[in-house]
Amino acid sequence: MSIYRNHNFMILLSGQLVSRFGNYLYAIALPWYVFELTNSKTDLALTGIAQTVPLMAGLFVGVLVDRWNKKHTMIISDLLRGAIAITLFFLALKGMSSRSNLAAMFMLVALMQLVGTVFTPAQSALLPKLVDPKDLTKAIGVNQSSGSVAGLVGLFGGGTLLAVLGAPLLFLFNGISFFVSSLSLLLIRSTEERISKHAKTSLWQDWREGFIAIFELNGMLRVCLLALIANFSLAAFDIVMVAWVKGPMKGNGFVLGTLNGAFMIGSLVGGLLLSRIVKRVQMRHVLLYGCILLGFVDGSIALFASVYWNLPLMFIGGLTIGIINGTIGTSAVRLIPEGMRGRIFSVLGALSTLSQPLGIAVFGTIMLHVALSAVFVLIAAFVIIGGLLFIKPVALNEADGRSA
């Protein structure tokens, strides 16, 4: 059966399309709102830290996700995040007249991220239960492309909406999108085994088992190391891009939205091409050459502060990241045992963001003392280093036995 005729998958896809649209409106509105009110690169960096530090909880929450009902976990996460986003909307209406208000905003941002740490591993564990194994790679690619569509509309249109409506209303739209997502999840029918409340193993034993499996499953350790290095370097990219547009490019919210839109179009295309690429190209080569290409793209942005130059580069960057992320997701789903997906996806997600606060702190500090063009070059160097981890052969596709 085609995944487009799969009732459960299409419900999940449509609900997440709305939720992701709200997330991208929020993503473009939050840093712009803080920087516009405070005109402080330090506060801009703190915004990024508030968004990334709570994600470290993913190192531990996955063991709970494996025990909980995946669909119910996603619904509760959406409801809580929706309430937090609406609270953020009301706080923003008051303005940032004091440091205490700004601190409260950072706390809400961090809390929203913390609640969201259970959503992604739950979704990653639920998706294989909704589609046939032969359709899994295509489903991952389509799901990723759906996110890119939401990003395209949210970030490209978000720049215009930001200029017309202001950031607070975009925070409100984000909250509403979470509620829409939770309602759509109620319509999904899935069969999940219940975990006994009197499980023989402790949470600590389950967590330890999942963490050790990352080192034992062939290829997973290198994937995690790539995630650490790449996220260390790319974590600050969005923040640096905001400063790049407002500074050397002398642009506005529309320009930023346009550049981000080009990135999302590239990511959309990359997701749609994913299933064809992994059938023809070894996954190791996808990660190796993809990171090298992405590094050159990031470094090339610094050559000219021109929207006509940066626009195609952002498209190529999005295309490359779309393919790389999809390749990692496909190999992970196939390699990880079903009963451990919540734990390992959670740990993998946390490890991929573990270096983000450090990356934002390091590159944010560097951004205060050197030219932004130099920061782009440094980001590019780290991305390429991450790709070089896959020079040595490693099997990433246990499902069909191909060496990748």
Please report the domains of the chain, with CATH numbers, ordered by start residue. Answer: 3-185+203-390 (1.20.1250.20)
Average pLDDT over the chain reads 82
Spatial CB neighbours of 102, under 8 Å, sequence gap ≥ 6: 34, 38, 43, 96
Residues 318, 299: Cα–Cα separation, whole Å: 14
Q: For residue 399, is pLDDT > 70? A: no
Sign of CA dihedral 168, 263, 238, 356: positive
Q: For residue 354, is pLDDT > 50? A: yes
The better pLDDT of the pair 49, 266 is held by 266
Query: Residue 191: which pLDDT band, with cuts at 50, 70 and 90?
Result: low
Number of H helices and E strands in the chain, helices first, is 18, 0
Query: Residue 85: which pLDDT band, with cuts at 50, 70 and 90?
Result: very high
Sign of CA dihedral 199, 204, 209, 210: positive
Residues 115, 242: Cα–Cα separation, whole Å: 26
Which pLDDT belongs to residue 195? Answer: 52
Query: Residue 402: which pLDDT band, with cuts at 50, 70 and 90?
Result: very low
Q: Which residue has the tokens 């610094």?
A: 302
Please report, to the nearest 10 degrees, the dihedral formed by the alpha carbons of residues 196, 198, 203, 209 taken in order.
-70
147-183 pLDDT per residue, tens: 878 877 776 677 778 877 878 888 899 999 999 999 9
Q: pTM for the complete prediction?
A: 0.74
Let me know if 98 is exposed, middle or buried by CB neighbors in 10 A (0-12, 13-18, 19+).
Answer: exposed
CB of 54 closer than 8 Å to CB of 64: no
Question: pLDDT above 70 covers what percent of the chain?
Answer: 92
The better pLDDT of the pair 244, 98 is held by 244
